[in-house]
Amino acid sequence: MAEVLLFHHIQGLTPGVREFADRLGAAGHAVHLPDLYDGRVFDDFDEGVEHARKVGFDVLLERGRSAADGLPDGLVYAGFSLGVMPAQLLTQTRAGAKGGLFFHSCLPVQEFGTWPQGVPVQVHGMAGDPLFADEGDLDAARALVESVPDAELFLYPGDRHLFADHSLPSYDAPAATLLTERVLQFLARVDATAA
């Protein structure tokens, strides 16, 4: 069993994010699912962006970092889009990280220092997603793969951003299914390595 700390995206802790966490749980993994928005969920992407700006990205990052307080070492840190910020911060800076799972986003490694030795990571995004491909995330993911031996980048056909959340119009079932399969394989490898 792997233990995962999973962070939601810009629209909040949607039913789709909860369902994704449930799928990981059904496969035998323990999933912690903090709510960085204190219960707020947004139907519209731009409303979520406005809320995040109002709260402050630094505040949201700190809420994410604090979500790990009291949890054991040895976690896999995962995040959807906005949630990649705290997931990547914790993967790179919290002792004992077992892995990182970054969906729809990736920051330059130097944003949080250096990449910890021996920590595997997967980055998933759509090749034509303007928010992923055109705003530096894809470049950061490619640089990560070049510098980290156990880093994988998975590009899916299409131009949708939050394609893995079944509760949103941007959902893409074939891509989301493949993403989930790859994530479960990753968690199984992490679990086997820890055993």
- Domain of 71, in residue numbers: 3-194
Give 87-138 pLDDT, tens digit per residue. Answer: 999 999 999 999 999 999 999 999 999 999 999 999 999 999 999 999 999 9
Which of helix, strand or coil describes residue 191?
helix
Q: Judge contact between 10 and 52, C-beta under 8 A.
A: yes
pLDDT of 63 above 70:
yes
Q: What is the pTM of this model?
A: 0.96
Q: Is the pLDDT of residue 195 over 80?
A: no
DSSP per-residue codes, 144-174: HHHH-TTEEEEEESS--SSTT-TTSTT--HH
Other CB atoms closer than 10 Å to residue 62's CB: what's the count?
A: 14
Angle formed by the axes of helices 84-93 and 57-67, nearest 10°:
50
The predicted-structure confidence for 3-31, as pLDDT tens digits, reads as follows 999 999 999 999 999 999 999 999 999 99
141: pLDDT strictly greater than 80: yes
The first and second tokens of residue 168, run together, are 């949103």
CATH number of the domain within which 73 lies? 3.40.50.1820
Hey, what are 122's tokens? 């997967």
Task: Give the whole-angstrom CA distance, residue 175 versus residue 131.
Answer: 17
Measured CA to CA, the distance from residue 37 to residue 82 in angstroms comes to 12
Q: What residue type is assigned to position 111 of the chain? A: E
Distances (CA, A) of 69 to 62, 66, 120, 164: 11, 5, 22, 27
Instruction: Look at residue 192 in the predicted model and tell me its pLDDT.
Output: 78
Averaged over 35-48, what is the pLDDT? 96
| pLDDT at 46 exceeding the cut of 90 | yes
CA pair distance 173, 150, nearest whole angstrom: 27
Q: How far, in Å, CA of 155 to CA of 55, rounded?
A: 31
- From CA 146, how far away is CA 148, in angstroms rounded? 6
Instruction: Give the model's pLDDT for residue 194.
Output: 67
CB 48 within 8 A of CB 12: yes
Burial zone of 173 (CB within 10 Å; 0-12 exposed, 13-18 middle, 19+ buried)? exposed
Domains in the chain: how many in total?
A: 1
41 pLDDT more than 70: yes
